[in-house]
Structure 1
Amino acid sequence: MIDLDIDMRQYDCPFIDTTDDVDIAFSAVQWQLDTDDEKLETRLIAQADSMGALDDGLRALREHPNMTDCYILSKRDNVAEIGTTIEQTNAMATIQDNGGYITGPFRIENGRERWHVGFDDDQDEDRALAELERHNDYSVEGRDQFGPTTLFDLLENSDSATALLEGCRSLTETERETFEVATARGYYETPRDTTLDDLADHFDVSKTAVSMNLRRGERKILKAALTALDQLDDTETF
């Protein structure tokens, strides 16, 4: 199986048009493509910077000409779970017609959409990408090719992968940025290429603040890794 990570801009997608006009983002939770009716039914999480922006975004989404149905399942502050039905877009039809399939949830923000698409062979992939170029703007950000053994391993250990992912998501923006800069500058190398003092100067905070941000992030990631290892051991024992 070939798995592509695609950064996509469709020109007939209501979600992309909405995130172009309003500061709102959508993350897919569940989706189903009805090829007979050429419609996509989706459940998504919509998140905006404020309640007002959320209302504006949902209003714009409902009024889009390619939107068939849009309804709120739940809503709290600046986040809502919504259900939608949209007309099949050119990109969806192209992927479907060339033997492709969605392999993971998609996210839409700032007028771009992140797709995870699978193909069974190189010819289907090449044909689909060539056709996508005619009516869409996209770039392939990542490409992986898995054999049956690797796919089985991924499926069997999906709980471990989820635990690690949730650990990464639990990092605050400050913790993540501190981690990234510290790693890029060689803080975790032996010997270290940078110090806490250097990092404090970079972020214009105290040495203590940098140390605390690193420690909090390390605890979260370590806890997630240990949880993943426990789940991995349980799977292997079973």
Structure 2
Amino acid sequence: MTPEILAALDRAKQEKRPVVLATQLPSGEQRLLPDPEAPADLNDAAARALQRDESGTVKLGGIDFFLHAYNPPLRLIVVGAVHIAQALVPFAAPCGFSVTVVDPRRSFASDERFPDVEISTAWPDEALDEFVPDSRTAVVTLTHDPKLDDPALDRALKSQAFYIGALGSRRTHAARLQRLRDLGHQDNVLSRIRGPVGLNIEAVTAPEIALSIIAEIVAVRRNAPLARDRAGRNLQGA
């Protein structure tokens, strides 16, 4: 690896920018992808490697390349240390997410309720300013309290978070969207919020709702086909 490529790889890691190190075989020639000067099929193969979090060898135009995917860590920021959050955390960790629970209410955000989980008792907008959600970050708000959820959603919409979800009924969500419009967010931006949050599996209990949320996060991350039913809830497509 040349000093130039090593420096570029280090910069990408510091910036939490996903890249692929492509090594041509057997010559050993290397380049970082995506690269506008690289062949389109090589950039496409790199994008698939990042999407799948998989490194391996591909043959393109009769040439073998080893693609080493360097992805930033997956993160889940949960706003609201509520019962659903307690059920969601155990689902998220085995799926590869580093979880942070944000809630300024110290009686909720306690080590007893969330053992071995990173907890922030900062106000949600301050917490998201600190964490800087990137393209590998999911943000979910669960408090039902506009004083907590709205600032978090405001910051999430200004970030590169790949998933933004908000708990609440359709009526609650409609009112939430209007408040966010009043903060200056346009409808095309607001469409990033998945509300009511989670795939429509007719969930009722906290664990079922948590399951629907992590399922939707994984579906969005994996670019699984999603559809909308008449109620506006998300459904995983066939």
Answer 1 or 2: which has greater helix percent. Answer: 1
Structure label with greater radius of gyration: 1
Instruction: Report TM bin, short chain.
Output: under 0.3
TM-score, scaled relative to structure 1: 0.25
Larger RCO (CA within 8 A; separation ≥ 6): 1
